[in-house]
Each structure stands twice: as structure tokens, then as C-alpha cells.
Structure 1
Amino acid sequence: MNQSLIEQIGIDYPIIQGAMSWVASPSLAAAVSNAGGLGMLGSGHEPAEVVRKSIKETKKLTDKPFGVNVLLLSPYVDDVVDVICEENIKVITTGAGTPGKYMKRFKEAGITVIPVVASVALARRMEKEGADAIICEGMEAGGHIGKLTTMTLVPQVVDAVSIPVIAAGGIGDGRGMAAAIMLGAAAVQLGTRFVVAHESIAHDTFKQRIIKARDIDTVVTGMVTGHPVRVLRNKLTKEYLKVEKSISSDANPDFTRLEELAKGSLRKAVVEGDKDSGSFMSGQIAGLVTKEQSCHDIIQELMEEYDELVKHPKLF
């Protein structure tokens, strides 16, 4: 296992919590960090002062390192970057764009910058722009996804860049973690497994939907828009896919109905637990998640499973 990234960030275990919108709250981030992983706050489209409030609340809950995800398409991104530097955050992940514009400021502030990518080309670009590590997210992940699987993406990115690579997408237990490390990853990022943590603020309906999910219960929506999203099946996805199909052959498709269906749907899932109209973003790993646990127990279980496999590999 590559220890350099773990030491640089200052965590005990090579486990990072995904910065899931509406889910990656101070309580979850602090609990993951207190358990030895790297907790992450999701800034989403929140105004800077809301992000600052979340950071301060997290600092009250943990004295361990934690990070903030920066959504580069946010209308408040400039102000959010200011807050992150002012609050002495030491680790950030970035998504929906390139952090190049802010890289000089991040470096001057001593911040470890870890962009999320879904291709080799983007990974190479991020390394050239000064990224300290890369999160390779396969299409098995929940939420917005790329086109490559984790199994195919990680080794290709590992071969293409010289900075540490973090594997994400379809990892939910020690076996997945061991597989990612064997492919060359220095650490793993988990999202779906942490949604059902005791410290997660996700509605119980959301947690139970994941716990009861089968291997085939996720579906990808938004292919026609060019922004695919993996979610659990429900009435919303059925209607969404129906509309997608009806406009897929149009030369100039009208996305108005799709936008109406998607508006506020993630909040409906996470906060309200609306089983019909909520967008329950979840990875394909949901079929392996069978119980609600504390972040401490999740991380300890992952490490015990990983250590057992490393010490006593099952050869067939």
C-alpha cells in the first residue's frame, strides 16, 4: 500500500468519504475523520457563508483532518475558495471542471488538491495543472458518472500519471478495497456505504432503500442529456426514462420536462425521503450494503476484511 498519500493527508487509513450533495454534512465528515478516514464536506451550490458554517461546525466535532469538495460550476465558487483558504482547510476534492484557475492559491495555502476524473486524458491534464492526487471514479458509482468502469479506469490512470490515484465507484467492502489497491490505487473513496452510516443525515427511507437494494436495482438516467446519473429505481426514474426515450431521436430535443422532473429531486430523497419523486443516488454496490453501522464500525470492518485478504489471499 502506498503510504505517501496517507501521510500527506494525515489520516490513519486509506479511506475517503465521498462528498455527496446533501449527505456529506458536518456530522458525517467528522465521524469518518474521527474513525481514521478522511471525512469530506460537500459544498455543492451553497453560498460561501453556508460552507463556512459547515466547516466551523465540523471543527467543533473533530480535531482530525477533513476536507471540502469544491463544485467548480457553482456560482459561488470564487467565494467558496476564499473561505476554504481562510479556514485553513488542508484537503479539497474538485468536480465539474478544472481547478487550474485556483491552483496557485491552493498551493500557497498548503492545500492538497485532489480532482475527481473519469478518463485518462483528464487525469493527465489535472497532473499537469498541479494536482497532488487523482480520484478515478468508475461508472459503478452513484450520482453523476462517466463511461468507464473502475476496473478498467484505475489501472490505466495509474500507468498514465505519477501522482497517487484514489479508486472510487463500486467499492463497498474490504474485497473491493483490496482489488483497488492491487490495481495500483493508493486509497479508496466510498459513497453509498457511508449514506447508511448512523451519523449520516440521509432520511431513513433513503437508507432503507439502499439496504434493501438488489444488484439490479440501480439505473442510469440522463444519457440523452450528456450528464448521466446513477440512481435507485422508482416512479421518478420510470417517468424520466420514458421522457428520455420519447425525445432521444429528436434532432433538437427539448429537455424542459426532464428538468422539471429533476428539479429538487435529490433534496426530496435525502431530506424528505420521498420514495416516489426523490432521486436516490446510489452506486451499484448497494446490493452489498445490508446494515446501518457507525462510521467507526464501517471503517474497521473494511480494514479487517482488507488485512485478512492481504495476509491470507484466497487462491483458486
Structure 2
Amino acid sequence: MINTRITELLGIEYPIIQGGMAWVATHELAAAVSEAGGLGIIAAGNAPGEYVRDEIRKLREKTDKPFGVNIMLMSPYAEDIVDIICDERVPVVTTGAGNPGRFIDRFKKLGIKVIPVVPTVSLAKRLEKLGVDAVIVEGTEAGGHIGELTTMAVVPQVRDAVKLPVIAAGGIGDSRGLVAAFALGADGVQIGTRFVCSTEAKVHEKYKEEIVKAKDRDAIVTGRSTGHPVRVLKNKLTREYLEIEKSGASSEALEGLGTGKLRLAVVDGDVENGSVMAGQIAGLVCDIKSCKDIIQDLFNGTEDVLNRLSSLKGGEDNE
């Protein structure tokens, strides 16, 4: 049992939150992460409310451990999903793509923990005033929609600026990243890409294979000109996208090119014409294993990392 402010807040064994990845974070993956001692998350994405309700109930058939639902606040179904989360008494809500302020009081009255994803100090401070329970501070190393600041830079700045528990996200895929996140001041970590390559993730095998074979520079950013950059693995789609983006295409044209492409990759396995969202740690992912083994590996390796740090300190003492 590892005790941090996050494990105490959420009633979980390990301070690990699974990322709310659209089309990836289904009830199967979320239940497996929760059963392994972390906090599994169902991603609502752009799905209608009743789909989310069904996912919540299916998860509860697999586990009685704490879990959460991620709401993309720009979704046309966001209001319906909030209603369903309240009806179903979901323990934890994570949010992205917007400000959850108008829903916070409603969640809090039901005892639902609210943890938004933030890319900047200013947003973390604003949401603290609104009464959120913790913040997920996501660096640009993450997969999918990203900000501009790195995890290394933004996590300690948020840690200094707020009193809330801080969850680090982006660029964390092994024990070294885990220890680094805590050294930066985090109380827990959110992990996405590594869990995509789990046996329980209902993701097309070709999608997983693309991550496993990815190299260090394969996770690139598209859509900077639109103000909504996205990190994905290089393929035919990204080459086409970057070419028309460079030519000055409109945001509407770029959005049209990307519509439906994540599902094309995740569900249909078209990893050339689909959007293979993954973080920069893709180059560290070399295999596919169970969520339980992934979490155990993260913590089993921390002793070696800490021993290396201890040896550095010992070297200084001997000078």
C-alpha cells in the first residue's frame, strides 16, 4: 500500500490514474486498472449519454473498486453525461476541453470528486478557487490534445501555486518517470499510452503494434495552427495533414480531415489513414501486458531508481 494525498482522496491502492482516452478507455480497461489498484477511467468522449450509462453499469459488474468517468466538456452530450454521472453516483469525474465550473457544486453535493486536466498554472489556480478536489497537470509530452508546457516545467510550478493534490501526466511510462513525477512535487500520476498497450484495452492490435514499434521521434504534433494541437504517431494521415496545414488550410478543412480518424485507427485498425494518438513515451513501450503487471512494474522498478539517486548522494558525501 502506497499512501499519498491521491490514494487517500480516491481510496485506491496505488497513486495511478488511467487516462481518459476516447475510444480506448472503455469499461474493460477501466475495470482492469481499478482491480489492479489504480483508478480506472471510462472516457465519455463524444459518445451519447446512454452509452456512458451502459459503460458505467458494465464496469460495476466487473469490479467494486473506485473508478471515474472523463467528460470532454466540448461534447454536445456533456450535459446529459453530467446527469447520468449524478444518477449513477460515479465516485470521480475527470474533465478536459473546457471549464467544469458550472457543474462543480452539483457534483460536490453528491460527494463526487472533481479532477480537471490543466496545462497551465493560471487554470489550476482558477479551478482551485472553484473547489475542485485535485488537478491533473498534463505536459505536452502526452498523447492526444496537448498544451505547450512540458511536464518537467509545469508540474513544479503548479505544485508551488496551489494547495490541491497534483497528478502529473505526460511522458510517464516507467519507474524512472514515476519517481521523477514525485520528485517534481506530484502526489500521483496519470498514465495513458502505456495502458493502451495492455491486454485488457479493447484496441485494435494494429494500433498497439504501432506504439510498440514506435521510435523516439515518431510521436509528432499536428494542428498547431488551429489552436488545438494533437500528438499522434507519424503515418500517411499526418503527412497529408501537415502538408495542407503548411499550405494555410482553414481550421474547418483541417477539422474535416481529422473527423472520425481516431475511431478509424482504434476500432478499425487503419493505422495509416487513422489517427494513432500516443505520447512521446511510445518509444519506451516494448510489449503488451496486463494492467496489473504494468502497475507492478512501475513500482517494482522504483527501488533501483532510488538506489541510483542514493549512490549519487553517497558520492557527494565521499568527496
Instruction: Check whether TM > 0.5.
Output: yes
Q: For 1:213 and 1:276, locate their aligned partners in 2 and report how far apart those are by CA, in whole Å.
A: 14
Q: Is the 8 A contact 1:2 1:186 kept in 2?
A: no
Report how far residue 312 of structure 1 moved: 5.6
**1:290 counterpart letter in structure 2:** C
Number of the residue aligned with 1:250 = none
**2:157 counterpart letter in structure 1:** Q
Q: For 1:111 and 1:76, locate their aligned partners in 2 and report how far apart those are by CA, in whole Å.
A: 19
Q: For 1:223 and 1:295, locate their aligned partners in 2 and report how far apart those are by CA, in whole Å.
A: 33
Q: For 1:311 and 1:129, locate their aligned partners in 2 and report how far apart those are by CA, in whole Å.
A: 41
Identical amino acids, percent of aligned pairs: 57
**2:305 counterpart letter in structure 1:** L
Look up the SS of the partner of 2:116 in the other structure. strand
What RMSD, in angstroms, separates the aligned Cα atoms of the two structures?
1.2
Number of the residue aligned with 2:317 = none
Number of the residue aligned with 2:278 = 282
Number of the residue aligned with 2:67 = 66
Report how far residue 2 of structure 1 moved: 6.2
Bigger Cα displacement from structure 2, 163-172 vs 71-80: 71-80
Number of the residue aligned with 1:300 = 296
Number of the residue aligned with 1:83 = 84
**1:223 counterpart letter in structure 2:** R
Map 1:219-234 to 2 at 5 A. 219-234=220-235
Q: For 1:139 and 1:195, locate their aligned partners in 2 and report how far apart those are by CA, in whole Å.
A: 18
Post-superposition Cα deviations, 1:234-263, rounded to whole Å, max 9, x if no partner, equal: 00000000001000xxxxx52343223201
Q: For 2:100 and 2:83, locate their aligned partners in 1 and report how far apart those are by CA, in whole Å.
A: 14
Post-superposition Cα deviations, 1:57-84, rounded to whole Å, max 9, x if no partner, equal: 0000111001000111111111111111
Look up the SS of the partner of 1:272 in the other structure. coil
Post-superposition Cα deviations, 1:139-196, rounded to whole Å, max 9, x if no partner, equal: 0000000000000000000000000000000000011000000110000000000001
Report how far residue 307 of structure 1 moved: 3.8
Number of the residue aligned with 1:150 = 151
- Which of the numbers 305, 312, 319 marks the counterpart of 1:309? 305
Number of the residue aligned with 2:203 = 202
Q: For 2:282 and 2:191, locate their aligned partners in 1 and report how far apart those are by CA, in whole Å.
A: 11
Map 1:207-286 to 2 at 5 A. 207-247=208-248, 254-286=250-282
Number of the residue aligned with 2:190 = 189
Q: For 2:308 and 2:225, locate their aligned partners in 1 and report how far apart those are by CA, in whole Å.
A: 46
TM-score (norm 2): 0.95
Between Structure 1 and Structure 2, how many residues are aligned?
A: 311
Q: For 2:184 and 2:251, locate their aligned partners in 1 and report how far apart those are by CA, in whole Å.
A: 39
Look up the SS of the partner of 1:67 in the other structure. strand
Post-superposition Cα deviations, 1:107-156, rounded to whole Å, max 9, x if no partner, equal: 10101110000000000011011111000000000000000000000000
Which 4+ residue blocks in structure 1 deviate beyond 6 angstroms? none
Q: In the alignment, is residue 56 of structure 1 matched against residue 77 of structure 2?
A: no
Structure 1: which 5+ runs fail to align? Answer: 248-252
Look up the SS of the partner of 1:188 in the other structure. strand
Map 1:134-145 to 2 at 5 A. 134-145=135-146
Q: For 1:61 and 1:265, locate their aligned partners in 2 and report how far apart those are by CA, in whole Å.
A: 30
Q: For 2:243 and 2:307, locate their aligned partners in 1 and report how far apart those are by CA, in whole Å.
A: 49
Report how far residue 210 of structure 1 moved: 0.3
Look up the SS of the partner of 1:110 in the other structure. coil
Number of the residue aligned with 2:315 = none
Report how far residue 30 of structure 1 moved: 0.2
Structure 2: which 5+ runs fail to align? Answer: 313-319
Report how far residue 314 of structure 1 moved: 5.3
Q: Is the 8 A contact 1:115 1:131 kept in 2?
A: yes
Number of the residue aligned with 1:26 = 27
Q: Is the 8 A contact 2:4 2:188 kept in 1?
A: no
Q: For 2:240 and 2:79, locate their aligned partners in 1 and report how far apart those are by CA, in whole Å.
A: 37
Q: For 1:2 and 1:228, locate their aligned partners in 2 and report how far apart those are by CA, in whole Å.
A: 35
Look up the SS of the partner of 2:301 in the other structure. helix
Counterparts in 2 of 1:314 and 1:285: CA distance versus 1, 3 Å: farther
